[in-house]
């Protein structure tokens, strides 16, 4: 132990028996060297400010340590090394998420914690950063990706500008298959209020316009100017600086009367705000998240916008975007009427069996597209593909055009059981539960909230019924009803968590079990019994 007194050496030996962490022991040893060096300088006549300058310390810390005896200092260090961290109950959750997504930032981990634990305590961003750093060091989960720097763009008046860009990201579904998703993002330049909209296919002029309309409804208006990349979705060509818009987008700009400005691709000087938003969406929302379909993804994105993206203090403006938007919305142009697409091509009728006829073959559209007395759709033929749009300009189907006549071209996403009505599906699903009245109420609530996707939603629950016992299904139904979890996407994750709890040995219950009325969102790949119990703390 070098020059340390025997008493201190014995104490250090005792501490070594309490830990198997070599780095922790070395850190403890260096603190003892600092403590005795500090007292040595004081005995040589140096004042606390002089010692602080010599050892590069705070003067108050020097005075505090000079007032401590060896025993007091050792007790103080031992208390620091063994004290419970405020975020310690969430260590397993953070570790599991970092193992699945090594590149996650501390801000993203903070959002995950708030998403999965509605009663998560209010802590500072710095506290989360320090604890994530601690978990990384403890479990050797080092970060590997590089960040990209952007130049700051000068602030603009309220309501003057929004910036728009498109992005794409490779996700993984619950079965481990890769799935590329495409997204549209918009940010108001002054308030930094954000919006994101996901699509299963690459954006076209029509779907981009539909995304604009969704964004304008979300921000409650539109600004004077929109800034874009020179993207082929919106531009036909660049003729020596003369930008030629696609016909559909040109008509849209004239209808909404906002000005458009195009800049070079990936140009942070001209549109650094949206460049940052694209990165934010990829690395705070999408990274580490499983793909469960575009409707679920858009639903989760709206939650994320309200919970994190528009709710946290912006690092540049030092203001909360949602609060700033309350000021900016006054300066936006109001949406008086919905945009109506001008159609050069004739409309195609949807038959009762949800297909359209095009050049001698039949092409499917999603179930329930046909509505009495008549339903029309519009098409676009490009690069050997047939895109089908509804009256709002939303792409509802895409097919490879058949070279043969008399073919039925079906999208696998449209393969649903058309012979069964929704009520029949509900009645069949209720057979999976003991209390069928409660089951009917739960399933009818799903139908009410997601009428277009009700078959998929009930199918998810029916699929779970084939893999689990009726008793487990009953327990999960009771939990979902009690905690107001109205989506089928939450059903199986809760079921898995309850099964895992049943398999583990019983432990002492805490007083926090009274918080069972909270609403939980649990991802199956991240749920564990320890995580589940911490939700209730």
DSSP class per residue in 35-55:
HHHHHHHHHTT--HHHHHHHH
For 180, the enclosing helix (H) or strand (E) is strand 178-188
Q: What is the pLDDT of residue 418?
A: 44
Q: Are residues 199 and 299 in the same domain?
A: yes
DSSP codes of every residue in 351-390: PTTSEEEETTEEEE--TT---SS--EEEEEEETTEEEEE-
Is the Cα torsion angle 92, 93, 98, 100 positive or negative in sign? positive
Instruction: Work out the number of other CB atoms within 10 angstroms of the CB of residue 221.
Output: 16
Q: How far apart are CA 65 and CA 106, in angstroms?
A: 33
* Last residue within a domain, chosen from 381, 414, 447: 414
Q: Is residue 292 part of a domain?
A: yes
Q: Are residues 278 and 357 in the same domain?
A: no
Q: What is the pLDDT of residue 183?
A: 95
Q: Are residues 132 and 176 in the same domain?
A: no
Q: What is the pLDDT of residue 155?
A: 80
* Last residue within a domain, chosen from 64, 82, 100: 82
Q: How far apart are CA 514 and CA 518, in angstroms?
A: 10
Q: Are residues 321 and 459 in the same domain?
A: no
Q: What is the pLDDT of residue 161?
A: 93
Structural domain span for residue 24: 6-82
Please state the length of the chain. Answer: 537
Q: How far apart are CA 314 and CA 53, in angstroms?
A: 36
Q: Are residues 210 and 270 in the same domain?
A: yes
Q: Are residues 112 and 64 in the same domain?
A: no
Q: Are 210 and 393 in contact (CB under 8 A)?
A: yes
pLDDT tens string 405-445: 888 888 755 555 444 567 777 888 888 888 888 888 888 88
Q: Is residue 246 part of a domain?
A: yes
Ranges of the chain whose pLDDT falls below 70: 1-25, 27, 80-84, 144-154, 231, 236-244, 264-270, 338-345, 382-383, 392-393, 412-421, 452, 503-537
Q: Is residue 441 part of a domain?
A: yes
Q: Are residues 442 and 519 in the same domain?
A: yes
Q: How far apart are CA 38 and CA 18, in angstroms?
A: 26
Q: Are residues 451 and 481 in the same domain?
A: yes
Instruction: Work out the number of other CB atoms within 10 angstroms of the CB of residue 516.
Output: 12
Q: Is residue 111 part of a domain?
A: yes
Q: Are residues 237 and 319 in the same domain?
A: yes
Q: Is residue 324 part of a domain?
A: yes
Question: What b/e sequence results for 292-317 when a residue is b if at least 16 CB atoms lie within 10 Å of its CB, and e otherwise?
Answer: bbbbbbebbbeebbeebbbebebeee
* Last residue within a domain, chosen from 54, 82, 110: 82
Q: Is residue 152 part of a domain?
A: no
Q: Are residues 102 and 127 in the same domain?
A: yes
Q: Are residues 58 and 188 in the same domain?
A: no
CATH number at residue 165: 3.30.420.10
Q: Is residue 150 part of a domain?
A: no
Indicate the number of domains in the chain. 5
Q: Is residue 387 part of a domain?
A: yes
Q: Are residues 404 and 426 in the same domain?
A: no
- Strands ordered across the beta sheet of 355-358: 355-358, 361-364, 408-409
Q: How far apart are CA 270 and CA 466, in angstroms?
A: 55
Q: Are 56 and 62 in contact (CB under 8 A)?
A: no
Q: Are 439 and 430 in contact (CB under 8 A)?
A: yes
């Amino acid at each position: 132990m070098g020059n340390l007194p025997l008493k201190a050496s014995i104490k250090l030996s005792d501490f070594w028996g309490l830990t198997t962490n070599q780095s922790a022991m070395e850190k403890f040893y260096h603190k003892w060297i600092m403590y005795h060096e500090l007292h040595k300088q004081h005995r040589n006549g140096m004042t606390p400010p002089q010692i602080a300058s010599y050892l590069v310390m705070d003067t108050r810390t020097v005075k505090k340590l000079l007032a401590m005896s060896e025993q007091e200092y050792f007790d103080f260090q031992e208390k620091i090394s063994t004290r419970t961290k405020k975020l310690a109950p969430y260590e397993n959750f953070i570790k599991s998420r970092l193992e699945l997504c090594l590149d996650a930032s501390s801000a993203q981990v903070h959002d995950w914690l708030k998403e999965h634990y509605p009663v998560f305590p209010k802590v500072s961003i710095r506290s989360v950063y320090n604890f994530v750093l601690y978990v990384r060091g403890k479990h050797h989960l080092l970060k590997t990706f590089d960040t990209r720097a952007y130049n700051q763009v000068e602030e603009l008046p309220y309501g003057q500008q929004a910036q728009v860009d498109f992005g794409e990201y490779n996700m993984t579904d619950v079965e481990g298959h890769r799935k590329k998703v495409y997204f549209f993002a918009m940010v108001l330049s002054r308030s930094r209020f954000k919006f994101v909209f996901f699509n299963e296919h690459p954006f076209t002029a029509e779907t981009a316009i539909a995304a604009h309309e969704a964004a304008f409804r979300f921000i409650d208006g539109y600004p004077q100017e929109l800034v874009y990349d020179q993207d082929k979705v919106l531009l036909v060509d660049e003729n020596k600086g003369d930008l030629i818009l696609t016909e559909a987008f040109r008509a849209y700009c004239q209808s909404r009367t906002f000005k458009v400005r195009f800049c070079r691709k990936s140009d942070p000087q001209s549109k650094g705000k949206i460049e940052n938003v694209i990165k934010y969406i990829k690395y705070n929302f999408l990274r580490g998240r499983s793909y469960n379909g575009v409707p679920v993804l858009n639903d989760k994105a709206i939650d994320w916008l309200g919970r994190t993206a528009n709710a946290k203090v912006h690092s540049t403006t030092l203001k909360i975007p949602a609060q700033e938007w309350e000021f900016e919305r006054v300066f936006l142009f109001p949406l008086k009427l919905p945009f109506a697409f001008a159609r050069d091509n004739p409309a195609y009728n949807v038959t009762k069996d949800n297909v359209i006829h095009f050049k001698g073959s039949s092409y499917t559209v999603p179930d329930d597209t046909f509505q009495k007395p008549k339903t029309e759709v519009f098409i676009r033929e490009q690069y050997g593909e047939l895109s089908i749009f509804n009256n709002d300009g939303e792409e509802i189907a895409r097919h490879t055009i058949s070279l043969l006549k008399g073919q039925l071209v079906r999208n696998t996403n449209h393969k649903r059981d058309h012979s069964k009505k929704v009520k029949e599906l509900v009645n069949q699903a209720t057979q999976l539960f003991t209390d069928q009245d409660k089951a009917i109420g739960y399933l009818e609530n799903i139908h009410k909230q997601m009428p277009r996707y009700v078959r998929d939603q009930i199918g998810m629950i029916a699929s779970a019924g084939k893999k689990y016992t009726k008793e487990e299904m009953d327990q999960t139904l009771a939990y979902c009803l009690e905690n107001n979890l109205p989506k089928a996407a939450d059903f199986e994750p809760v079921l898995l968590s309850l099964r895992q709890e049943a398999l583990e040995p019983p432990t002492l219950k805490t007083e926090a079990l009274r918080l069972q009325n909270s609403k939980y969102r649990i991802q199956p790949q991240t749920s564990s019994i320890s995580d589940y119990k911490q939700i209730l703390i």
